[in-house]
Amino acid sequence: MAEIAGLEAEGYVVLPGVLSAEQLAAAGRHADDLLGGVGWSDNDFDGRRTRRVYSLLSRAGAFEPLLTHPEVHRLVTARLGQAYQFGMLFLSAVDPGQGSQAPHFDAGVYPLPREIEAETNVIWALDDFTVDNGATLIAPGSHRWPAERRPRPDELVPAVMPAGSALVYSGRLWHAAGHNRAETTRRALICEHVLPWLRPADNHILATGFDQLRSLSPELRRLAGVAPASDYLGFVGGQDPEQWLLSH
Ligand SMILES: O=C(O)CCC(=O)C(=O)O
């Protein structure tokens, strides 16, 4: 599959326009509902002209087809194996006037050697991503860079893509939200997927709660971490966590 080879070689791949018009419209409405009344973030990294909503599993709604999209999960499985889980899940609305974010790589939260692919993530474009409205800036090939190397400004290129596209990228890829010089907001749904033996950035079990977890689809529950990570990791009293949850 060319996308898997591209992801391995360049550290990212764009799946253009993979959402149907209905899925995109429903996701956009859901995003606006969630963003209603949310203020700008209070720190430079998240963005003082950016609105964010975290812990989305209990409010997955019209995002579910994005969170479980088969083409994305085929790529994530190719990179992480079968038993990965969600990391951070958040909605980001970059408003006009927001400057570029500090470049970073998502797996930088883990003290792991750079060679380990700990995360494979996706940025869903809920609006067209353009040079003007702050399309994500990426440094192609930077997932293979040594720990000490940082991107120069001229190494960051905008991931221009139409709304409904997915930017799938390595957790080791240097990137940043771009500068929004346009007059409209640029919305994205960002979903991280991490190896099963790592602590995910979002605590999905606490944030979602048992009742909501029971009401999720088995796939979302598995991705929330309600699944053994291996034969000896992730049990409740020696029992499969899914069986435990559904019997309590
Ligand atoms: O919004 C984007 O384009 C990327 C945001 C990001 O990488 C982050 O906040 O960690």
Residue ranges of domains in the chain: 2-202
pLDDT of residue 243: 93
Ligand 1 within 6 A of CB of 201: no
pLDDT of residue 158: 98
pLDDT of residue 231: 85
Name the DSSP letter for residue 141: T
Say how many Å lie between the CA of residue 182 and the centre of ligand 1.
Answer: 17
In order along its 248 residues, the chain shows pLDDT tens digits of 799 999 999 999 999 999 999 999 999 999 999 999 999 999 999 999 999 999 999 899 999 999 999 999 999 999 999 999 999 999 999 999 999 999 999 999 999 999 999 999 999 999 999 999 999 999 999 999 999 999 999 999 999 999 999 999 999 999 999 999 999 999 999 999 999 999 999 999 999 999 999 999 999 999 999 998 888 899 999 999 999 999 99
Q: How far is the CA of 136 from the centre of ligand 1 (A)?
A: 7
Q: Which pair of structure tokens corresponds to residue 58?
A: 């209990």
Ligand 1 pocket test: which of 12, 190, 191, 192 has the largest number of ligand atoms within 8 Å of its C-beta? 190
What pLDDT sits at residue 205? 95
Nearest CA to ligand 1 atom 2: 177
The three-point CA angle 11-17-20 to 5° equals 135
How far apart are the CA of 223 and the centre of ligand 1, in A? 21
What is the CATH architecture assignment of 2-202? Sandwich (2.60)
Q: Which residue from 226, 13, 220, 225 is spatially nearest to 120, judged by alpha carbons?
A: 13
Starting at the edge strand found earlier in the chain, the sheet holding 137-138 runs 157-158, 137-138, 175-176
pLDDT value, residue 232: 87
Q: Which helix (H) or strand (E) holds 188?
A: strand 186-194
Nearest to 4 by CA among 198, 170, 193: 170
